[in-house]
Amino acid sequence: MIELTIDKKKVRVEPGTTILKAARQVGVEIPTLCHFELCDMGIENKPGGCRICVVEVEGRRNLQPSCITEVQEGMVIKTHNVRVLNARTTVLKLIISDHPFDCLVCAKSGECELQSLATQFGIRSLPYEGEQSHYRKDTSPSIIRDVDKCIMCRRCEMMCNDVQTVGALAAVNRGFMSVVAPAFEMNLVDSPCTYCGQCVSVCPTGALTEVDHTNDIIRALSDPTKTVVVQTAPAVRAALGEEFGLPPGALVTGKMTAALRELGFDYVFDTDFSADLTIMEEGTELLQRIRRHLAGDSTVRLPILTSCCPGWVNFFEHNFPDLLDVPSTAKSPQQMFGAIAKSWFAEKIGVDRKDLVVVSIMPCLAKKYECQRDEFKTDGNPDVDFSISTRELAAFIKQANIDFLNLPDEDFDDPMGESTGAGVIFGNTGGVIEAACRTAYELHTGRSLEKVDFHALRGMEGIRSATVDFDGLQLNIGIAHGLGNARKLLDEVRAGTSQYHAIEIMACPGGCIGGGGQPYHHGHSEILAQRAAALYTEDERKTIRKSHQNPSIVRLYDEFLGHPGSQKAHNLLHTEYFPKSNEVSIHLNGHNGQ
Amino acid sequence: MSQKLNIAPEVFAYMEHVTGTDGVAVRVNLSKEKIEKINQICNSFNNDAGELINVLHETQHAFGYLPAEVQDVIAHNLHLSVAQVYGVVTFYSFFSMIPKGEHPISICTGTACYVRGAEKVLEEFKKELQLKVGETSADGKFSINCLRCVGACGLAPVVLVGEKVYGRVSPDGVKAIIGEYKK
Q: What is the tens place of the pLDDT at every residue in A449-476?
A: 989 999 999 999 999 999 999 888 899 9
- Please identify, among B46, B67, B91, the residue that sits at the C-terminal boundary of a domain: B91
pLDDT surpassing 80 at residue A376? yes
Active site residue A559: no
Q: Where are the beta strands (DSSP E) in A39-129?
A: 43-45, 54-57, 64-65, 76-78
The answer to whether A126 and A16 are in contact (CB under 8 A) is no
Residue at B98 is within a domain? no
Q: Looking at the complex, does the CB of residue A137 fall below 8 Å from at least one CB of chain B?
A: no
The answer to whether A478 and A461 are in contact (CB under 8 A) is no
Containing structural domain, residue B138: 103-182
pLDDT surpassing 90 at residue B139? no
Q: How many CB atoms lie within 10 A of CB A2?
A: 17
CATH code of the domain covering residue B167? 3.40.30.10
Please give the tally of structural domains in chain B.
2
Chain B: give the shortest CA distance to residue A147, in Å: 15
Instruction: Categorize the per-residue pLDDT at B18 as very low, low, confident or very high, splitting at 50, 70 and 90.
Output: very low
Three-class DSSP category at A479: strand
Chain B residues with CB-CB distance to A185 below 8 A:
7-8, 10-11, 86
Q: What is the mean pLDDT of chain B?
A: 83
Do B86 and B115 share a domain, yes or no? no
Do B123 and B81 share a domain, yes or no? no
pLDDT surpassing 70 at residue B160? yes
Do B113 and B55 share a domain, yes or no? no
Q: What are phi and psi of A264, to 5 degrees?
A: 110, 10
Residue at B96 is within a domain? no
* pLDDT for the residue A429: 97
Share of chain A above pLDDT 70, in %: 98
Active site residue A157: no
User: Which residue among A183, A582, A586 sits closest to B86, beta carbon to beta carbon?
Assistant: A183
Q: What is the pLDDT of residues A511-539, one digit of tens each?
A: 999 999 999 999 999 999 999 999 999 99
Q: Looking at the complex, does the CB of residue A171 fall below 8 Å from at least one CB of chain B?
A: yes
Residue at B115 is within a domain? yes
| HEC per residue, chain B | CCCEECCCHHHHHHHHHHHCCCCCEECCCCCHHHHHHHHHHHHHCCCCHHHHHHHHHHHHHHHCCCCHHHHHHHHHHHCCCHHHHHHHHHHCCCCCCCCCCCEEEEEECCHHHHHCCHHHHHHHHHHHHCCCCCCECCCCCEEEEEECCCCCHHHCCCEEECCEEECCCCHHHHHHHHHHHHC
* pLDDT for the residue B17: 33
Active site residue A3: no
Distances (CA, A) of A551 to A333, A406, A415, A431: 18, 31, 9, 21
Do B22 and B79 share a domain, yes or no? yes
Q: What is the mean pLDDT of chain A?
A: 94
Q: What is the pLDDT of residues A203-233, one digit of tens each?
A: 999 999 999 999 999 999 999 999 999 999 9
- Please identify, among B59, B91, B123, the residue that sits at the C-terminal boundary of a domain: B91
From A37, A56, A111, A282, the catalytic residue? A282
Q: Where are the beta strands (DSSP E) in A370-508?
A: 377-378, 381-382, 386-389, 463-470, 473-481, 502-506
* pLDDT for the residue B183: 73
* pLDDT for the residue B8: 36
Active site residue A29: no
Interchain CB distance below 8 Å, B69 and A584: yes
User: Which residue among A161, A178, A585 sits closest to B73, beta carbon to beta carbon?
Assistant: A585
pLDDT surpassing 90 at residue B24? no
Active site residue A512: yes
Interchain CB distance below 8 Å, A184 and B39: no
Higher pLDDT, A9 or A322: A9
* pLDDT for the residue A581: 60
Active site residue A331: no
Interchain CB distance below 8 Å, B68 and A184: yes
From A50, A153, A203, A308, the catalytic residue? A308
Do B134 and B62 share a domain, yes or no? no
Do B76 and B112 share a domain, yes or no? no
User: Which residue among A170, A591, A592 sits closest to B81, beta carbon to beta carbon?
Assistant: A170
Chain A: give the shortest CA distance to residue B94, in Å: 13
What totals of helices (H) and strands (E) does chain A contain, helices first? 19, 22
* pLDDT for the residue B23: 32
Mark out chain B residues that contact chain A at CB-CB < 8 A: 1-3, 5-8, 10-11, 15, 27, 29-30, 32, 35, 39, 42-43, 47, 68-69, 71-73, 75-77, 80-87, 90-93
pLDDT surpassing 90 at residue A39? no
Q: What are phi and psi of A303, to 5 degrees?
A: -70, 165
Residue at B169 is within a domain? yes
Instruction: Categorize the per-residue pLDDT at B29 as very low, low, confident or very high, splitting at 50, 70 and 90.
Output: low
A·B CB contacts under 8 A:
110
User: Which residue among A171, A186, A594 sits closest to B87, beta carbon to beta carbon?
Assistant: A171
Residue at B107 is within a domain? yes
- Domains, chain A, with CATH or none: 2-96 (3.10.20.740), 98-125+133-210 (3.30.70.20), 214-573 (3.40.50.1780)
Do B115 and B73 share a domain, yes or no? no
Rounded Cα gap, residues A96 and A117, in angstroms? 10
Do B108 and B82 share a domain, yes or no? no
pLDDT surpassing 90 at residue A2? yes
Do B117 and B85 share a domain, yes or no? no
Q: What is the mean pLDDT of residues A349-375?
A: 97
Lowest mean pLDDT among A53-62, A197-206, B136-145: B136-145
Q: What is the pLDDT of residues A116-172, one digit of tens each?
A: 999 999 999 999 988 999 999 999 999 999 999 999 999 999 999 999 999 999 999
Q: What is the pLDDT of residues A264-302, one digit of tens each?
A: 999 999 999 999 999 999 999 999 999 998 898 988 888
Interchain CB distance below 8 Å, B11 and A185: yes
- Please identify, among B37, B56, B91, the residue that sits at the C-terminal boundary of a domain: B91
Query: Which pTM was predicted?
Result: 0.89
Residue at B85 is within a domain? yes
Chain A: give the shortest CA distance to residue B159, in Å: 27
From A46, A149, A367, A368, the catalytic residue? A367
Share of chain B above pLDDT 90, in %: 56
User: Which residue among B3, B15, B76 sits closest to A589, beta carbon to beta carbon?
Assistant: B76
Chain A: give the shortest CA distance to residue B136, in Å: 19
Q: What is the mean pLDDT of residues B42-63?
A: 94
Do B87 and B109 share a domain, yes or no? no
Active site residue A285: yes
Do B48 and B108 share a domain, yes or no? no
Q: What is the mean pLDDT of residues B155-182?
A: 94
Q: What is the pLDDT of residues A549-593, one digit of tens each?
A: 999 999 999 999 999 999 999 999 999 999 886 543 333 333 222
Rg of chain A, C-alpha, whole Å? 25
Question: Crossing angle of helices A431-445/A271-294, nearest 10°?
Answer: 60
Chain B residues with CB-CB distance to A182 below 8 A:
83
Rounded Cα gap, residues B152 and A183, in angstroms? 38
Chain B residues with CB-CB distance to A169 below 8 A:
83
Q: What is the mean pLDDT of residues A234-246?
A: 98
Q: What are the DSSP calls for A492-536, one per residue?
A: HHHHT----SEEEEESSTTSGGG-TTSPP-TT-HHHHHHHHHHHH
Do B36 and B9 share a domain, yes or no? yes
Higher pLDDT, B79 or A54: A54
Q: Looking at the complex, does the CB of residue A162 fall below 8 Å from at least one CB of chain B?
A: no
* pLDDT for the residue A502: 95
